[in-house]
A and B are shown apart, each in its own frame.
Chain A
Amino acid sequence: AAGVIQSPRHLIKEKRETATLKCYPIPRHDTVYWYQQGPGQDPQFLISFYEKMQSDKGSIPDRFSAQQFSDYHSELNMSSLELGDSALYFCAGAGGTNEQFFGPGTRLTVL
């Protein structure tokens, strides 16, 4: 069965650079969530989308933005990267059930 796809899996950037993370949920799953997991920490909710509209916003810095496209994939855009942005970024998709299906994550390292 198809799973949630995230790309890239690993990303290395310098401070002040920009990064774009992509998430492809399971087909027909219309809701996407983004979470950030710092080293040794629990995942923290960043932002979510339902049917291409932002449905909720968590502790997402103003330097970050995201959107969901007509095919339900989502992109997280991160600008002016800081060392503290180094983390594992997960997206999860949902489609009318009680489960959120997580992708494998993108590991972002900011040098």
Chain B
Amino acid sequence: GEDVEQSLFLSVREGDSSVINCTYTDSSSTYLYWYKQEPGAGLQLLTYIFSNMDMKQDQRLTVLLNKKDKHLSLRIADTQTGDSAIYFCAERVGSSYKLIFGSGTRLLVRP
């Protein structure tokens, strides 16, 4: 079945790196995504990775994919207070390319 899991909460100090982890179950997923959601707001696409890649870097964001273990991570370098939000990973599944979201990780950045 399709299931995506994330740890619920992460707290880091401003300037440190944050690592948010995600596991998924559908081995046929071709694309995996990271979205950011601030309180009461919509879903902002941060980055995504194709399943035949191991790593993707985009400015302060680094995505690592371990396809064998079905494990995805998002590293945010030099975390800022504006990075405080809920981060969702999602896998694209099925012929319709719908997204299956994880439960979200709430990131709190302490000054």
The residues of A with any CB-CB pair to B shorter than 8 Å are 31, 33, 35, 41-45, 48, 50, 55-56, 58, 90, 92, 94, 98-105, 107
Contacts and interface: CB of A to CB of B under 8 A. Distances in A.
A94 B100 CA distance: 16
Contacts, number: 55
Interface string B74-111: 00000000000000100010111111111110000000
Shortest 9 CB-CB contacts between residues of A and residues of B: A56-B96, A42-B101, A55-B96, A102-B43, A104-B42, A45-B98, A48-B96, A43-B101, A42-B103
Contact of B48 (A98, A101, A103): A98
Given A99-B45, A102-B35, 8 more contacts: A42-B101, A42-B104, A43-B88, A44-B101, A55-B95, A98-B92, A102-B42, A103-B42
Interface in B13-47: 31, 35, 40-45
B98 A90 contact: no
A98 B96 CA distance: 12
Interface residues of B, number: 23
Contact of A56 (B31, B40, B95, B103): B95
Nearest to B2: A45
Contacts of B31: 98
6 contacts: A42-B102, A56-B94, A56-B98, A102-B44, A102-B45, A105-B42
A72 to B, nearest CB: 16
Nearest to A34: B98
Residue among A41, A50, A56, A101 facing the most chain B CB atoms (10 A cut-off): A56
Contacts of B99: 33, 35, 43, 45, 92, 100
Contacts of B98: 33, 45, 48, 56, 58
A90 B96 contact: no
B85 to A, nearest CB: 14
Contacts of A43: 43, 88, 99, 101
B41 to A, nearest CB: 7
Contacts of B44: 102
Nearest to A43: B101
